[in-house]
Structure 1
Amino acid sequence: MKGWFDAFRNDGGPTLYSYTNRTPVTGDVHLITIFVIFCTIFTAFLIIFPGIRKERLSTFLTVTLSLFVGTSIQVAQYGSSWHTTSTTIIGSFSAFSKQRMTAEIGGYIGLMHINITYRHTPINMDVADVEYNERFFWRTPHEMKDMFKESLSQGAPFPIVSLVEYFSFHQEGFSWGSKYREAGYYASIMLWTSFASWMLMNLLLVVVPRYGAFSMIFTGFCLLFTNLIYWKLLPCEPLVAHIDGSILIFDFGWNYWLVLVAGIMCLFAGIVITAIDMIFPHQFSTILEVDYDTPYDRHVIIEESFDTRNIRRKLPKVEDSFGDRFISQLSSKLSHEKEEDTQGVINRGYVSHESSEINEESSKTNWSYPFPPAQRRAVSTS
């Protein structure tokens, strides 16, 4: 029974699978998930894009810009390349060791964490067996210090521990950790604000494209303000880390430039759409609108109302009832008689036989119908 369970074991210890499951971390799960989601949406749009017959250019540019901005916001929120550094060192793997090895070490600072990579680069063509990728969070004031102590107890490589030490102290002259945490905290708030504005932008582009352009401008301002806040809150004294005789100087990474490019593109596109809408009202449109190509489409409503106004100007007035027709004929007959005789009708008055004794002058009193434009004629009594 002794040799029955001894396969692949040394001195009774557990089996060591040296080349099957010991693989380094090569990607961030959060970033991979974000890329998969947005790429799937964009691929679905490209599949249906050949079926679009109208508003092709505006629809393609709007959808592409919207997905690019949304991806940039989420990647920058969870990414680790706001402030980065990388160099090659020749040092010991563990403390108090005389053995030296050539390795690459890099620090990748995100908004709420720092990733430190350490990879052995052998001189010969041997396979590198030392490769680390450790993440240290500073979401709370004391989390970085606790993770630094935990890395010491776990026996992390000495270069990694040396770099983490720069961020774990919160004292005068060693306050880089608190400064980076403050910059990342406020930049994260502005990124979430930009994400909310981006969602509102998509909603308004579907409902009211003009207001969607305004929201696009606001989203661009939020993204640019995120870059400004992060740059302003960085440590006044730049971090220069010395590890085993090598110097690590941090500089802006691709996450910072990605947010900057997304903000400029969003701001520029919003301004262009707003200018087009002001010069040519109601001309900007995409197939994403709710009532697009239906009887409730704003373009259809505007065209129909314009045609209706023109038709009403051309059509004669139609009488709706017999009373209207009778009044119309009567008024036309009266106007015709009025044109024939504009002098008025003379009335000599009525005198009864019983009132023969009335004064002669009173019996000769004349009156006429009150036609305003007519003038009275003199009446002779002879």
Structure 2
Amino acid sequence: MKGWFREDGGPAFYGYSNRTSVTGDINMVACCLVFLTLYTAFLVIFPGIRKQRFTTFVTVTLSLFIGNVIMVAKLGSSWHVGKIQISSTYCALSKELITADLGVYIGLDHVNITLRALPQDNSSSVQDIDYNEKFTWHGVHEMGERYREALVRGLPFPILTVAEYFSLGQEGFRWGGEYRAAGYYSDILLWAAFASWLMMNLLLIVVPRYGAYGMIITALFLLLTCFIYHCMLPVSPLIIRFEENKQLTFNFGWCFWLTFFAGIICGFVGIVIACIDLIYPHRFSTVLEVDYDTPYDRHIIIEDSRYHRKKRSNKGNEELAGIGRRILRRLSSKKDENDEKPARMNGMENNAFEMDPPNSPWRYAYNRPPLKDVAFRRTISQDSASSIASSSAVVTFVDHKQPLSREKQDLPRQSLAELSSKSVSIW
């Protein structure tokens, strides 16, 4: 068993770590997995949806796609990209040249530099060359500090050459500061687009029409991000020169174009939904609405209100609504008053007026025949505290048709008037 699983037939040698370069961004992969999990859950329940299938599928797919694009573009390293195959020295003050692929990937707050030697040089006396180094610039002087750390670590000479262009801020080497400013303002606009995206999802659940307007606002933020980044790039393009007249130039990467494409798609869908809602009001809806298919659903409420409105309109003539109706009402009332004014002055016949008292089904006390020298008695239902107290008084009946006696005729008129006022006459 001597020499099994060993290259030279001897025991394993652990003198070097044999590290491999980074092949992916963990934060970006985690973000994609989160949105992919949500979308997978939606696809699982999608066969159970019976109504509004197309609008629901388009809305959910677009919403998750836009949210994922915003986060990936913020974390990505491919806003401005440059690739070239170079022949350069591996370290300073060395005459040995290596042929390798050099790539520079600029993000919003960092730059990734990769160096991978070609196969013919990987098997040489030089150690395996496969680097992927990340330099961040969250602060003003952070890029310079990272460059000094790279010098201490002894990174390959091509990587140090590229990092030097971004770390210096004097003597015309201002590309690092300009890239940092472009990434700073683009990052702010991406966060604004993310906040607008959250509001768009909330409005799609409550009022889908306003959700379409939220799509348009999110698209404007995404397109504005691309526009600001393009305008704030260095006026003099960054060109890095190597041996044999090799020049490294930069172009827009997939993060920039993905953000631009997402803004175009989001704006187009939002405008289409808004136009459909203006032409056919309250037609666009999804199963994600809060009160969907319940008595509080806006479609059910609208249909119910239309039914009652139609029912009321059938009872009489239709009248103009709004300001026109009120104006016509005012004009008609003034006209009627002007027409009725001469009639009131000359007198009008009122057919509803009656000279005779109405025949009331109730019998009041004054309609009963009066009794002489007998106190008036109410029934049980008519008794009250005040009526019982007043019923004890004796009613004096005066018959005005019979002549008064001689004694009474001799009384003065003032005494007779007082006597009449004190008597209670019941007719």
- What TM-score range do you get, normalising by the shorter chain? 0.7 to 0.9
- SS of the equivalent of 1:304 reads helix
* 1:15-54 equivalent positions in 2, closer than 5 A: 15-16=15-16, 18=18, 22-54=19-51
Q: C-alpha deviations, 1:153-178, integer Å up to 9, x for none? A: 00001000001111111014110000
1: CA distance between counterparts of 2:37 and 2:134?
28
**Number of the residue aligned with 2:81:** 84
Q: Please tell me whether the aligned partners of residues 77 and 111 of structure 1 are also in contact (alpha carbons under 8 angstroms).
A: yes
Query: Deviation digits for residues 309-351 of structure 1, max 9, x if unmatched?
Result: 44556799xxxxxxxxxxxxxxxxxxxxxxxxx8x9999xxxx
Alignment of 1:110-149 (within 5 A): 110-123=107-120, 129-149=128-148
Give the number of equivalent residue pairs: 314
Q: Which residue of 2 aligns with 1:108?
A: 105
**Partner residue in 2 for 1:8:** 12
CA distances 1:108-130 after superposition (whole Å, capped 9, x unpaired)? 00000000000011238959931
Give the CA RMSD over aligned residues: 2.7
Aligned to 1:151: 150
Q: What is the 5 A alignment of 1:126-205?
A: 129-205=128-204
Please name the residue that 1:247 is paired with: 247
| 1:89-121 deviations in Å (ceiling 9; x for gaps) | 111111111211110000000000000000011
Q: State the alpha-carbon separation in 1 of the partners of residues 48 and 310 from structure 2.
A: 35
- Partner in structure 2 of residue 362 of structure 1: none
**CA shift for structure 1 position 307:** 2.6
**3-state SS of the aligned residue for 1:183?**
helix
8 Å Cα contact 2:79-2:252 kept in structure 1: yes
1:238 aligned residue: 237
* CA displacement 1:15-64 (0-9 Å, x = unmatched): 5454xxx2221100111011111111111111111111111111111111
Distance 1:68 1:8 in 2: 49
SS of equivalent to 1:98:
coil
Taking a change above 3 Å as real, the CA distance of residues 65 and 181 of structure 1, as seen in their structure-2 partners, is: same
CA distance in 1: counterparts of 2:57 and 2:258, whole angstroms: 21
Question: Where does residue 380 of structure 1 map in the other structure?
Answer: none
List aligned pairs for 1:204-283, cutoff 5 A.
204-245=203-244, 246-283=246-283
CA apart distance, 1:199: 0.4
Partners in 1 of 2:253 and 2:354 — Cα distance? 102
| Corresponding letter in the other structure for 1:60 | F
* Conservation of the 8 A alpha-carbon contact between 1:8 and 1:16: no
- Percent of matched pairs sharing the same residue: 52
Q: Where does structure 2 lack aligned partners over 5 or more consecutive residues?
A: 1-9, 317-350, 357-400, 402-427
Give the aligned partner of residue 91 of structure 2. 94
Counterpart residue identity of residue 68, structure 2: T
Alpha-carbon deviation of 1:300? 1.2
> Could you tell me the TM-score, scaled by structure 1's length?
0.77
CA positional deviation for 1:293: 1.0
What TM-score comes out, normalization by structure 2 length? 0.69
Amino acid at match of 1:204: L
Distance 1:143 1:231 in 2: 24
Alpha-carbon displacement from aligned partner over 1:118-155 (angstroms, at most 9, x marks no partner): 00112389599311000001111100001001000000
Unmatched tracts of structure 1, length 5 or more = 1-5, 317-341, 348-352, 354-382
SS in structure 1 at match of 2:190: helix
CA distance in 1: counterparts of 2:26 and 2:303, whole angstroms? 51
CA distance in structure 2 between the partners assigned to 1:315 and 1:299 by the alignment: 25
SS class of match (1:94): coil
CA distance in 2, matches of 1:249, 1:286: 48
Paired position in structure 2 for 1:374: none
Q: State whether residues 105 and 117 of structure 1, in contact with CA within 8 Å, keep that contact through their aligned partners in structure 2.
A: yes
> 1:25 corresponds to which letter in structure 2?
V
How far apart, in 2, do the equivalents of 1:7 and 1:292 lie?
71
The answer as to whether partners of 2:222 and 2:260 remain within 8 angstroms in 1 is yes
Aligned-residue offset at 1:214: 1.1
Change over 3 Å in CA distance of 1:144–1:346 after alignment to 2: closer
Report SS of the residue matched to 1:123: helix
CA distance in 2, matches of 1:307, 1:144: 69
Alpha-carbon distance between aligned partners in 1 of 2:265 and 2:310, rounded to the nearest angstrom: 42
Tell me the distance in 1 between the aligned counterparts of 2:234 and 2:182. 9
Does 2:62 align with 1:65? yes
Residue identity matched to 1:57: F
Q: Which has the larger radius of gyration?
A: 2
